[in-house]
Amino acid sequence: MTKIDEKLEPILAEVLRRNAGELEFHQAVIEVMESLGRVIAKKPHYADHALIERLCEPERQIIFRVPWVDDAGQVQINRGFRVQFNSALGPYKGGLRFHPSVNLGIIKFLGFEQIFKNALTGLPIGGGKGGSDFNPRGRSEGEIMRFCQSFMTELQRHLGEYTDVPAGDIGVGGREIGYLFGQFKRLTNRYEAGVLTGKGLVYGGSRARTEATGFGATYFVSSMLATRSMDFEGRKCVVSGSGNVATYTIEKIRQFGGIVIACSDSSGYIIDEDGIDLELLKEIKQVRRERISQYVQMKGAGARYVEDGSIWDVPCEVAMPSATQNELTGKDASTLVKNGVIAVGEGANMPCTPEAVRIFQGAGVLFGPGKAANAGGVATSALEMQQNASRDSWSFEKTEERLAGIMRNIHDNCAETAEEYGAPGDYVLGANIVGFERVAAAMTAFGVI
């Protein structure tokens, strides 16, 4: 661990103590604290009025019961969460995750990251996150719909286009947002389009929102490569996951001339040296909602499925972890470095362990942290809110152009700030400082609240 500034040490100790056992939240806070020493050395007033303590304490945390009836007529109970972390820059904004691993600590880590990420976009959005320990795997359409309706029945009282605006994350895509929006509209009797993002195009969604996170992450890596006069052309890439973020990362890398040779789900990974067949991948994952192992059966010759082991054993020049937190360990990072990786961009939130990040940075690998690299999703959500507010609908080209510009700005702001603070090329430091300073300036203006 990088040494924590001595002024920040007691603050961190207190955060760890009062949030005991929430390991992912601790990990996210420690990483930011490691960057803040340099800020308060230059701008000591940011340590005044317990600003950093307040930043680490969510404004509001909601936990609720979600009862629903399964297809067999049995009553099921899940737990719902919404952590409204920080509203200094705008309404709480951040996705909903439906996955059996969800607990309060995971939602808090995601909400905390979201504060800085959203600030980095330069758009007026605060930070929040929510979800449930509901497992959508193997559930019927009807079960998914009834779960979403029950979840929204409770959550709706906490939402609003000026209050809190959820979107998707793991296990929550266009289908779920449709059920959630339908129930919100029915309960409130208001067509408040800006209350959720990631909506379908026919009812207020934005073009390019589906693609935005993966496209944006690829733009970010492209900007990092450009600092060393390199690009994606002809480079072998590995993208973990095969959900929303992974799929559109693969699509944009292909547009940029790169070759994605492997992707995965939580059961295993596939290798296709010809380059992953994107149309086949979409058919399997988006249309049939099946497992990635199906790819090999449908593609035939050339592709291989590996059930055990790590996707990071596959040699590549660009690695884009796009599945989940802590999926890429120190050991994986060492393997990637040994195999010649030149750039790593986090499509997922916190997919690389702290040890992995240190190994990449120590080896001079370009490393784009999630809060910067995957900010294109939430940025385009803010563009969706803009379109809803003005009752307008933009073309794909216009929206993607805005996204590309935002990603370029995030990259340049992080790079310039890292340099200004004496650590050129350290995008982790740059992202934490840019995000922090924007939020801290607004919090300071508001006084002690």
- Exactly one of 80, 91, 216, 377 binds ligand 2IT (CB under 6 A); which one? 377
Question: Residues touching ligand 2IT: how many (CB under 6 A)?
Answer: 11
Q: In the complex, what is the shortest distance from the CB of residue 245 to ligand NDP, in angstroms, rounded to a whole number?
A: 4
Q: Could you say which residues in the range 64-93 bind ligand 2IT, by CB under 6 A?
A: 93
Question: Of all residues in the chain, what percent are helix, strand and coil, respectively (each to 5)?
Answer: 50, 15, 35
- What residues pair up with 132 in beta bridges, in sequence order? 80, 98
Q: In the complex, what is the shortest distance from the CB of residue 391 to ligand NDP, in angstroms, rounded to a whole number?
A: 24
Q: Is residue 321 involved in binding ligand 2IT (CB under 6 A)?
A: no
* Residue 129 annotated as catalytic: yes
Residue 322 interacts with which of ligand NDP, ligand 2IT, none, CB < 5 to 8 Å by class: ligand NDP
**Listed residue (326, 356, 327, 351) closest to 341, CA to CA:** 356
Q: In the complex, what is the shortest distance from the CB of residue 306 to ligand 2IT, in angstroms, rounded to a whole number?
A: 28
Structure-token pair, residue 218: 């690829």
Q: In the complex, what is the shortest distance from the CB of residue 193 to ligand 2IT, in angstroms, rounded to a whole number?
A: 14
- Exactly one of 86, 87, 150, 197 binds ligand 2IT (CB under 6 A); which one? 197
Q: Give CB contacts under 8 A, 24+ apart, made by 63-70.
A: 63/104, 64/154, 64/155, 65/154, 66/132, 66/134, 66/147, 66/150, 66/151, 66/154, 67/150, 68/143, 68/146, 68/147, 68/149, 68/150, 69/146, 70/139, 70/143
Residue 94 interacts with which of ligand NDP, ligand 2IT, none, CB < 5 to 8 Å by class: ligand 2IT
* Chain residue whose CB lies nearest ligand NDP: 243
Residue 197 interacts with which of ligand NDP, ligand 2IT, none, CB < 5 to 8 Å by class: ligand 2IT
Contact between 367 and 428 under an 8 Å Cβ cutoff? The reply is yes
Q: In the complex, what is the shortest distance from the CB of residue 102 to ligand NDP, in angstroms, rounded to a whole number?
A: 10
Q: Is residue 169 involved in binding ligand 2IT (CB under 6 A)?
A: yes
Stretch that binds ligand 2IT, among 6-14, 18-26, 302-310, 374-382 (CB under 6 A): 374-382
Q: Taking each helix axis as running N to C, give the angle between helix 104-121 and helix 396-420, from 0 to 180 degrees, rounded to the nearest 10.
A: 90
Q: In the complex, what is the shortest distance from the CB of residue 327 to ligand NDP, in angstroms, rounded to a whole number?
A: 6
- Exactly one of 56, 120, 148, 167 binds ligand 2IT (CB under 6 A); which one? 167
Contact between 261 and 236 under an 8 Å Cβ cutoff? The reply is yes
Amino acid found at 413:
N
Catalytic residue among 93, 117, 129, 252: 129
Q: Where are the beta strands (DSSP E) in 55-198?
A: 60-69, 75-86, 92-98, 127-132, 164-167
| Contact footprint for ligand NDP (CB under 6 A) | 168-171, 173, 213, 241-246, 265-267, 322-324, 327, 347-349, 374, 377
- Give dist(CA 93, CA 1) in Å, integer: 30
What is the C-alpha R_g of the chain?
Answer: 21
Helix (H) or strand (E) holding 263: strand 259-265
- Give dist(CA 243, CA 322) in Å, integer: 8
Residue 347 interacts with which of ligand NDP, ligand 2IT, none, CB < 5 to 8 Å by class: ligand NDP
CA distances from 192 to 32, 158, 284 (A): 35, 14, 34
Q: Which residues form the catalytic set?
A: 129
Applying CB under 6 A, which residues contact ligand 2IT? Answer: 93-95, 117, 167, 169, 197, 349, 377-378, 381
